[in-house]
Amino acid sequence: MGRLVMKFGGTSVANLDRIRNVALHVKREVDAGHDVAVVVSAMAGKTNELVEWCRDASPMHDAREYDAVVASGEQVTSGLLAIALQAIGVQARSWQGWQIPIRTSDAHASARILEIDGGELISRFKDRKEVAVIAGFQGISPQTGRITTLGRGGSDTSAVAIAAAIHADRCDIYTDVDGVYTTDPRVVPKARRLEKIAFEDMLELASQGAKVLQVRSVELGMVYNMPIFVRSSFDKPEDIDPHGTPPGTLICSEEEIMENHVVTGIAFSKDEAQISVRQIEDKPGVAASIFGPLADANINVDMIVQNVSEDGKTTDLTFTVPASDYGRARDTINSAKGKIGYARLDSATDVAKVSVIGSGMRSHAGVAAKAFGALAARNINIRAITTSEIKFSVLIDAAYTELAVRTLHTLYGLDQV
């Protein structure tokens, strides 16, 4: 007997039949004697529809009212799942973020969780054996008393934070895949599912393009040492032994993994744009004059490469930004041209970032050099490189993305045997 948080994404609750299927998954864990809190997303496509309604109503809409609208998708799902559970004899009630409460910052549409009071949920587990069905993605700002939302994928973050608040044994993330793979199986059919992956590795995979989990949810799991189990919601509930270990991937501390491979996985992202600022004066403060305005505009800069100055007077500086921020980034740099003093601005949107991730890199030399050689053998040109202790990334032409991923996946022995 333990305490679980079960999180179900939009595809898992896309219609009433799938919501009834989710109810059977929950009933299985309740019948096994567990205290259960369920966190749900909006039904598939519903959040996009609500966002479009806000944009159609007014392109310059109030962010507070935007949150009030888009948070309603999860409210509908939580109510429907509570009804479905009650219909099969499971005591349950729905909770909105403000009712628990989940206290957040007042940064509407991208709020961060400050505190969760899990006391009422815990007491209801003890007194009523009641399943808590919680609307994910949302909270309340103590400063304003207004509903807030946590940004795309925020239900993952809600689930892990609630698991920490109620002292759960584990947080199960049910999704449309049966775990975390060494890379996208649609690109590399030989990709294999990982039984366990360290928080640090998963954090890098998520931040470098893997779409399985929201980055902040993994950060919270690491901070609170909350095991996260990624599993499929499409497995038949009646075929799963609640006391056994179903197919999936456990995200846990590095100490719980017997053997770390040198490379854990390959991530990639085509959502990249490259900007090169040419012939800027090679002197202190120039980089700040470029990246300061970008930071003020809330544009996230990723890879940065500065060429060595040949004459000691001018140099080139290249960096990448998300493709969605490409236009704003160019406009921001153009607006600051007088202060920066560059000769030319070059850019490209047909680029992709491929990242190699693995905690084992800490104790192995030459991991990146092998990749550079393998990519060169395939005539794949590298535009930029960044490295960290457990990851390195290369920027390449987007047309070569799949070839690069397959090449590196085989190079590091990740192909399924």
Give the pLDDT of residue 241. Answer: 79
176 is in an annotated binding site: yes
- pLDDT higher for 30 or 211? 30
Looking up tokens 């560059």 gives 342
216 is in an annotated binding site: no
Give residue 333's pLDDT band: very low, low, confident or very high (50, 70, 90).
very high
Lowest mean pLDDT among 13-22, 65-74, 359-368, 376-385: 359-368
2 is in an annotated binding site: no
Work out the average pLDDT over 192-220. Answer: 89
211 is in an annotated binding site: yes
Torsion of CA 50, 51, 56, 60, to 10 degrees: 140
Give the pLDDT of residue 309. Answer: 67
pLDDT, tens digit, 9 for 90 and up, residues 208-264? 877 788 889 999 999 999 999 999 988 888 778 777 778 899 999 988 887 667 899
Give the pLDDT of residue 5. Answer: 98
Give the pLDDT of residue 338. Answer: 84
Give the pLDDT of residue 46. Answer: 95
Evaluate if residue 198 carries a pLDDT over 90. Answer: yes
Evaluate if residue 417 carries a pLDDT over 60. Answer: no
46 is in an annotated binding site: no
Domains assigned to the chain: 3-254 (3.40.1160.10), 266-411 (3.30.2130.10)
212 is in an annotated binding site: yes
Give the pLDDT of residue 259. Answer: 66
Residue 173: strand pairing partners? 7, 230
Work out the average pLDDT over 378-394. Answer: 92
pLDDT, tens digit, 9 for 90 and up, residues 126-170? 999 999 999 999 999 999 999 999 988 899 999 999 999 999 999
8 is in an annotated binding site: yes
Q: Measured between alpha carbons, how far is 144 from 132 in angstroms, rounded to an integer?
A: 26
47 is in an annotated binding site: yes
Q: Which sign does the torsion angle of CA 364, 365, 367, 368 carry?
A: positive
175 is in an annotated binding site: yes
353 is in an annotated binding site: no
Give the pLDDT of residue 1. Answer: 66
9 is in an annotated binding site: yes
Total length of the chain: 417
Question: CB of 313 within 8 A of CB of 282?
Answer: yes
Evaluate if residue 312 carries a pLDDT over 90. Answer: no
Evaluate if residue 52 carries a pLDDT over 90. Answer: yes
Give the pLDDT of residue 19. Answer: 97
Contacts of 374 (CB under 8 A, 6+ apart): 407, 408, 411
Helices assigned H by DSSP within 119-175 = 119-128, 154-165
pLDDT, tens digit, 9 for 90 and up, residues 81-110? 999 999 999 999 999 999 999 999 999 998
Evaluate if residue 331 carries a pLDDT over 90. Answer: yes
Q: Measured between alpha carbons, how far is 233 from 251 in angstroms, rounded to an integer?
A: 17
Give the pLDDT of residue 416. Answer: 66
31 is in an annotated binding site: no
Question: Taking the model in full, what pTM does it have?
Answer: 0.87
Average pLDDT taken over every residue of the chain: 92
CA 171 to chain centre: 15
